[in-house]
């Protein structure tokens, strides 16, 4: 804040910031007190709409460093050299809670990463889970409605949550993940991140590869039990946010080892799973993760509203050498995120310091709109033009893909092991006996709250199809609680 006296928004000195102007001692307030009116009006407009999902979050800046030669797979400039560093901003979040909700809850965590590259910003809008509840964006509004407040009760309702999951068996894998030990991380620092979707990398020769990203925490995985979380959520609702800020303030910079799984495009049609299905992983044995980099967070934002609340991440923010896959969830997000930002922060959200490119500049013919900062001055606002304005490059950012067929509301192509239950069963079976017990207890405690037997039974049946033992134990645990 510059030195000098208090001023109005227009810069005029303020004489009295303690008393409103009134018509005589004890008299009513005068409309001529523009400082008062401006102050109240600004206060009324302090909030932008909170995010419909991922409202509750915290962020930090840091550095991504390349640790392996990935030029055989991608021509992205920020990945071009071992040792190359790129500034990043990472926003963590929970999904369902409102802006003021507690951090220590059972919910996936957002892991939204912006790389400020010299070829423009690359946003990798991931989660702390490698999978998701659904595989087609057309189901997203319905799914989120079941996670948020019921229109009648105004609360999250177990009936809605389990009705939707029971009727959407593709959620079985992610629900198993969520109710397992990793469903409540101890902090944002003690969890992995995943790009979750499959993306496309294109190398300098124009060859394409499918890729998945993993960010393995260097702090080690640490989780809270349901009981620990319930206490912490009540005592310190901001636990994750505070932990991140304080650890960075103390110079204890959190870091993640970044890995990629890479699939030759020729493998995709005959792979045993649909490689573009967000409810499935690529088992490590099929495509071993290779280390590609290190991510470190080392600088806190100076202003939470400006840099965290107004930060925007768009899965469609690609750079040359990185592009989308035909994952139906990703395709929906390519539209939905930009649309949400235009509504929430405005059409010029990309111009804000946290969002604009840091290692290059945006050269567009887009102009005007709310809060336009006039950065283009008197430059021509069309293309082609004869005045030296920026022109198209004629260089596609990523490799073209071949598609054929008849348009329609088709389900995804079927692959040999593409059922909704197999990978959920694999996850269940890799858990220790202790973790299985906690998983069953967590699930049973939640399912037992539904008001109708058919909803509970349908939900349990999905877990039975994943693994007979899983279903049997869950059924018994729910019975014991429901009586």
284, 367, 375, 482: which one binds ligand NDP (CB under 6 A): 284
- Residue (205 or 430) nearer to ligand NDP, CB: 430
Contact 295, 88 (CB under 8 A): yes
CA dist 440 → 130, 176, 422, 435 (Å): 21, 9, 18, 9
Q: What pairing do the DSSP bridges indicate for beta strands 208-217 and 193-194?
A: antiparallel
Residue 281 touching ligand NDP (CB under 6 A):
yes
Q: Which residues in 411-422 are b (16+ Cβ under 10 Å) and which e? A: eeeebeebbbbb
3-state secondary structure 303-370: CHHHHHHCCCCCCCCCCCCEECCCCHHHHHHHHHHHHHHHHHCCCCHHHCCCCCCCCCCCCCCCCCCC
- To the query of whether residue 190 is one of the catalytic residues in this protein, the response is no
Q: What are phi and psi for residue 256, nearest 5 degrees?
A: -135, 140
Beta strands in 190-307 (DSSP E): 193-194, 199-202, 208-217, 255-264, 290-299
**Does 130 engage in binding with ligand NDP (CB under 6 A)?**
yes
Q: In 3-state terms, what secondary structure has residue 267?
A: helix
DSSP letter, residue 171? G
Catalytic residue of the set 35, 121, 127, 475: 127
Token pair 């523009």 is found at: 34
Choices 33-41, 138-146, 372-380, 421-429 (CB under 6 A): range interacting with ligand NDP: 421-429
Q: Among residues 184 and 281, whose Cβ is nearest to ligand NDP?
A: 281
Closest contact distance (angstroms) between CB of 193 and ligand NDP is 11
Among 100, 206, 234, 283, binds ligand NDP (CB under 6 A): 283
In whole angstroms, how close is the CB of 68 to ligand NDP at the nearest point? 18
Say which residues have a Cβ less than 8 Å from residue 306's Cβ, sequence separation at least 6: 352, 353, 354
Strands 290-299 and 57-66: what pairing? antiparallel
β-pairing verdict for 109-117 and 199-202: unpaired
Q: How far is the CB of 468 from ligand NDP (least distance, A)?
A: 17
The residue assigned the tokens 């299905």 is 277
Phi-psi region of 477 (alpha: psi -120 to 50; beta: other; left: phi over 0): alpha
Quote the CA–CA distance of 232 and 13 in Å, as a whole number. 46
Q: How many helices (H) and strands (E) does the chain have?
A: 12, 10
Distance of closest approach, residue 333 Cβ to ligand NDP, in angstroms: 20
**Nearest distance from C-beta of residue 429 to ligand NDP, angstroms:** 9
Q: How far apart are CB 423 and ligand NDP at their closest, in Å?
A: 4
**Taking the complex as a whole, how short is the minimal distance between the CB of residue 221 and ligand NDP, in angstroms?**
6
By beta-carbon proximity to ligand NDP, the closer residue of 182 and 358 is: 182
Supply the minimum distance, in Å, between the C-beta of residue 228 and ligand NDP: 16
- The position carrying tokens 């800020």 is 245
User: Catalytic annotation on 54?
Assistant: yes
Straight-line distance from the first to the last Cα atom of the chain, in angstroms, rounded to the nearest whole number: 63
Residue 136 contacts ligand NDP per CB under 6 A: no
Q: Which of residues 173-212 bind ligand NDP (CB under 6 A)?
A: 177, 180-182, 192
The Cα–Cα gap between 165 and 169 comes to 6
Binding mask of the shown chain, residues 423 to 442, with x at each position contacting ligand NDP by CB under 6 A? x--xx--xx---x-------
Q: Which residues bind ligand NDP (CB under 6 A)?
A: 130, 177, 180-182, 192, 216, 221, 281-285, 423, 426-427, 430-431, 435
Residues belonging to the active site: 54, 127
């Amino acid at each position: 804040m510059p030195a000098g006296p208090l001023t109005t928004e227009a810069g005029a000195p303020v004489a009295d910031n303690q008393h409103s102007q009134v018509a005589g001692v004890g008299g009513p307030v005068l409309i001529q007190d523009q400082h008062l009116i401006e102050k109240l009006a600004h206060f009324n407009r302090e909030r932008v709409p909170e995010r419909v999902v991922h409202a509750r979050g915290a962020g930090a800046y840091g550095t991504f460093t390349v640790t392996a030669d990935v030029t055989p797979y991608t021509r992205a400039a920020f990945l071009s050299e071992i040792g190359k560093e790129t500034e990043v901003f990472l926003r963590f979040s929970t999904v369902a809670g409102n802006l003021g909700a507690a951090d220590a809850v059972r919910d996936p965590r957002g892991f939204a990463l912006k790389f400020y590259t010299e070829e423009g910003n690359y946003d990798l809008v991931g989660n702390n889970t490698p999978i998701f509840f659904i595989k087609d964006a057309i189901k997203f509004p319905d799914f989120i409605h079941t996670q948020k407040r019921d229109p009648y009760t105004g609360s999250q309702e177990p009936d809605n949550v389990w009705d939707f999951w029971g009727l959407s068996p593709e959620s079985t894998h992610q629900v198993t993940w969520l109710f397992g030990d990793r469903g409540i991380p101890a902090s944002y620092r003690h969890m992995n991140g995943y790009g979750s979707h499959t993306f496309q990398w294109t190398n300098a020769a124009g060859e394409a590869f499918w890729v998945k990203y993993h960010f393995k925490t260097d702090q080690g995985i640490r989780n809270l039990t349901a009981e620990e979380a319930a206490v912490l959520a009540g005592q310190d609702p901001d636990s994750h946010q505070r932990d991140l800020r304080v650890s960075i303030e103390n110079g204890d910079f959190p870091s993640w080892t970044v890995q990629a799984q890479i699939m030759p495009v020729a493998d995709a049609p005959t792979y045993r799973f649909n490689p573009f299905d967000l409810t499935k992983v690529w088992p490590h044995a099929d495509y071993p993760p290779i280390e590609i980099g290190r991510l470190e967070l080392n600088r806190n934002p100076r202003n939470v509203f400006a840099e965290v609340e107004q930060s925007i991440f768009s899965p469609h923010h690609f750079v040359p050498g990185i592009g989308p896959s035909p994952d139906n969830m990703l395709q929906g997000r390519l539209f939905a995120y930009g649309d949400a930002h235009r509504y929430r922060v405005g059409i010029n959200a990309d111009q804000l310091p946290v969002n604009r490119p840091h290692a290059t500049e945006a050269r567009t013919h887009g102009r005007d709109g709310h809060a336009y900062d006039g950065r283009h001055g008197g430059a021509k606002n069309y293309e082609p033009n004869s005045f030296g304005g920026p022109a198209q490059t004629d260089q596609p950012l990523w490799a073209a893909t071949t598609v054929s067929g008849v348009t329609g509301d088709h389900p995804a192509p079927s692959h040999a092991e593409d059922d909704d239950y197999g990978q959920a069963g694999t996850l269940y079976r890799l858990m220790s006996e202790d973790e299985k017990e906690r998983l069953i207890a967590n699930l049973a405690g939640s399912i037992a709250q539904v008001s109708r037997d058919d909803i509970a039974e349908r939900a349990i049946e999905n877990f039975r199809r994943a693994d007979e033992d899983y279903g049997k134990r869950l059924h018994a645990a729910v019975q014991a609680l429901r009586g």
